[in-house]
Amino acid sequence: MRKDVRILLVGEPKVGKTSLIMSLVSEEFPEVVPYRAEEITIPADVTPERVPTHIVDYSEAEQTDEQLFQEISKANVICIVYSVNNKKSIEKVTSHWIPLITDNTDKDNRVPLILVGNKSDLVEHSSMETILPIMNQYSDIETCVECSAKNLKNISELFYYAQKAVLHPTGPLYCPEKKDMKSLCVKALTRIFKVSDLDNDGILNDSQLNFFQRTCFNSPLAPQALEDVKNVVRKNVSDGVRDNGLTLKGFLFLHTLFIQRGRHETTWTVLRRFSYDDDLELHQDYLFPQLKVPPDATTELNHDAYLFLQGVFDKHDKDRDCALSPEELKDLFDVFPYMPWGADVSNTVCTNQQGWITYQGYLSQWTLTTYLDVQRCLEYLGYLGYSIVAEQESQAAGITVTREKKLDLQKRQTQRSVFRCNVFGDLCSGKSGFLQAFLGKNLMSQKNIREEHKSYYAISTTYVYGQEKYLLLHEVFPDDDYLSDADLACDIVCLLYDVSNPYSFEYCAKVFKQYFMDSKTPCMMIAAKSDLPEVRQLYGCTPLEFCRKHKMPPPQSFTCNTAAAAPSRDIYTKLTTVAMYPHVSQADLKSSTFWLRASVGAAVFAVLGFAMYRVLLKPR
């Protein structure tokens, strides 16, 4: 909403422009009226909308045309004053003043007009019969007010309507010719309805209506008032009320009714509470609230944000199969201006046999977005109405900024829940297969992935000492001449070579020596395609000797060619464990007892997590 309002009064000489201003200020009719009143400013605390208001007079006798044009360009609303007992002044409204204003304002940013019929004390009839056709002809005219500067009739109302035309304009909301709301207004109100429909059943029940009322107007509706509202809708709209709840059709009808009855400030109050600006776009400050992230810190969703996202999943998982079908996913993102997830998502997170994103995969994708691009995550949470539904100041309340990694290393412990593993390897070494195996896809199912749907990320959960953690795998393009900071920034490095290719290990050795040999980032060697016959690597030493020399764990055998079964997840648990405990000694990493302790309970916790979600769904 605007921080101030500038009102300009124009019209023919002697129609009473100056008298209107002076009567407002002194609350009495002036005995002596100057040619022009000085600009006055009404403080915010004495205006109905609590906004400072500047009132500017125009005098043909004292001002040039150029000065008039400048004032028109600065005005937020223009009052065209005529005298109700002077037909010529009425005719000048359309023959002179409206064309003049139109020529001196941007056609894409029209200034609202108020027609002001002054000197109503001098006639017994109204000028409305003459004015109504003019109002119907020009859509920029907000309203017409008949008043009397002498009797102080409707003086305060005149300036209130002028202020209201700026702060609560009709133009963006309503089309007088079609007698219906404009498409952008319908789109915004539809999103507001869907955000407020907390169970996604297509109606706002009494509880949801009261939550909406408290959110927008700080007080609930009395039970009888709720019934009165629904009865108005019932009488005017078929299907406006269903199962004693308000449908989208009924919700839109109510706002159309508010606007038609001159109560568009009600609709604007709702729109602004949901952070829409005067152009019916969401405020950038709302979508991108301030969040400071130190260079070595990461960003994660906190418990409240996960609960919110679980609720969003729950209300769109109509068939309760713990996965989102394409139709359910489309419905979930209907409150977005665009589809945020592409086809590659199904190869980034876990899906079911039909390729639909599972509950775990859904939360994983949100975790990935938060980690890689927290500003995008804040934007997405904004579209879903997180701050409204969760009753938080902004989406930033749902984000945890972790402490800097160097502090974790100093304290030899971490509170992070998401760990990044960058996967390095030569061409055709099996990196993509390694990522897809993490999502439960064996070699056979990976063959169905289309090239344009390929993802260079994979994220899922692992369990270390019974704690659920997210492991984010990122496939790095093989270029040992140049690696970016993003390629090097991670919690653990995975160096992957093909045991059946004698030249494959050399690339891993080069990358390690050039970038990670003196780094504090732990590294692990993966001997991929272990189902194939192993050949001698053409390098100065064997992979095992290389690992011993550089105090790394021995190469870990891995294959995703597991016939009908899903590939083993043990290696991913090991990677997460090393990422969590980078200070663990080489002796411990070689110990089978250490790995057994780290991985114990992983399968049990994974099954329990899925089962618990099903249990939670049963009562609903």
What CA–CA distances, in Å, run from 47 to 41, 42, 52, 115? 11, 7, 7, 21
Range from 40-44, 230-234, 270-274, 349-353 carrying the lowest mean pLDDT: 40-44
- Between 33-42, 100-109, 344-353, the lowest mean confidence (pLDDT) is in 100-109
What residue type is assigned to position 369 of the chain?
Answer: T
Q: What is the pLDDT of residue 212?
A: 96
The least confident of 66-70, 415-419, 587-591 is 587-591
pLDDT-based confidence at residue 323 (cuts at 50, 70, 90): very high
- Whether the pLDDT of residue 462 is over 60: the answer is yes
Q: Looking at the predicted structure, is the pLDDT value of residue 90 above 90?
A: yes
What pLDDT is stored for residue 481 in this prediction? Answer: 66
Nearest Cα neighbor of 352 from 364, 343, 344, 361 is: 361
Residues contacting residue 161 through CB under 8 Å, at least 6 positions apart: 114, 142, 143, 145
Distance CA 610, CA 286 (A): 34
For residue 544, pLDDT over 90 is answered with yes
Which residues are CB-neighbours of 576 under 8 A, at least 6 positions away? Answer: 419, 462, 464, 469, 471
Task: Give residue 176's pLDDT.
Answer: 77
Nearest to 20 by CA among 127, 118, 128, 126: 118
Q: What's the whole-number mean pLDDT along residues 441-453?
A: 86
Please state the rounded mean pLDDT for residues 536-552: 95
Kindly report, residue by residue over 270-293, the tens digit of the pLDDT.
Answer: 999 999 998 999 999 999 999 999
Percent of the chain at pLDDT > 90 equals: 72
Rounded percentage of the chain residues whose pLDDT exceeds 70: 93
The answer, yes or no, to whether residue 599 has pLDDT greater than 60, is no
Cβ-count burial 28-53 (b if 16+ within 10 Å, e if not): ebbeebeebbeeeebeeeebebebbb
Identify the band that residue 590 occupies on the pLDDT scale cut at 50, 70 and 90. low
Instruction: Write the DSSP string, 145-208.
Output: EE-BTTTTBTHHHHHHHHHHHHHS-STTTEETTTTEE-HHHHHHHHHHHHHH-TT-SSEE-HHH
The confidence score (pLDDT) of residue 420 equals 96
* pLDDT reported for residue 408: 81
What's the pLDDT band for 493 if we cut at 50, 70, 90? very high
459: Cα separation from own chain's centroid: 23
How wide is the angle at C-alpha 566 spanned by C-alphas 563 and 569, nearest 5°?
Answer: 130
CB-based contact 496:434 (threshold 8 Å): yes
pLDDT tens digits, 169-209: 888 898 877 889 999 999 999 999 999 999 999 999 999 99
pLDDT of residue 604: 47
**Beta bridge pairs of residue 559:** none
pLDDT of residue 588: 55
Average pLDDT over residues 110-121: 93
In the numeric block, the tokens 């994983």 are attached to: 364
Euclidean distance between CA atoms 124 and 120, whole angstroms? 8
Interacting residues of 365 by C-beta distance below 8 A, sequence separation 6+: 341, 345, 348, 349, 357, 459
Report the DSSP pairing between strands 556-557 and 467-475.
unpaired
What does pTM read for this prediction? 0.85
Mean pLDDT, to the nearest integer, of 397-424?
90
Higher pLDDT, 408 or 429: 429
Question: Is pLDDT at 602 greater than 50 in this prediction?
Answer: no
Please give the pLDDT value at position 32: 85
Tell me how crowded residue 381 is: count the other CB atoms within 10 A of its CB: 30
Joined tokens for residue 573: 């648990």
Question: Residue 484's pLDDT is what?
Answer: 80
Distance CA 116, CA 421 (A): 70
- 460 and 351 Cβ atoms separated by less than 8 Å: no
Q: What is the pLDDT of residue 134?
A: 92
Mean pLDDT of the chain: 90
pLDDT value of position 465: 87
Give the pLDDT score at 292.
95
Residue 370 has pLDDT above 50, yes or no: yes
Highest mean pLDDT among 172-176, 360-364, 606-610: 360-364
Q: DSSP assignment of 509-525, as one string? A: HHHIIIIITT-SS-EEE
At residue 31, does pLDDT exceed 90? no
d(CA 573, CA 605): 13
Average pLDDT over residues 90-119: 91
pLDDT of residue 603 exceeding 50: no
CA neighbor of 118 nearest in space, from 67, 88, 154: 154
pLDDT of residue 449: 83
Distance of alpha carbon 451 from alpha carbon 438, whole angstroms:
19
| CB burial string 294-325: b at 16+ within 10 A, e below | eeeebbbbeeebeebbeebbbbbbeeebbbbb
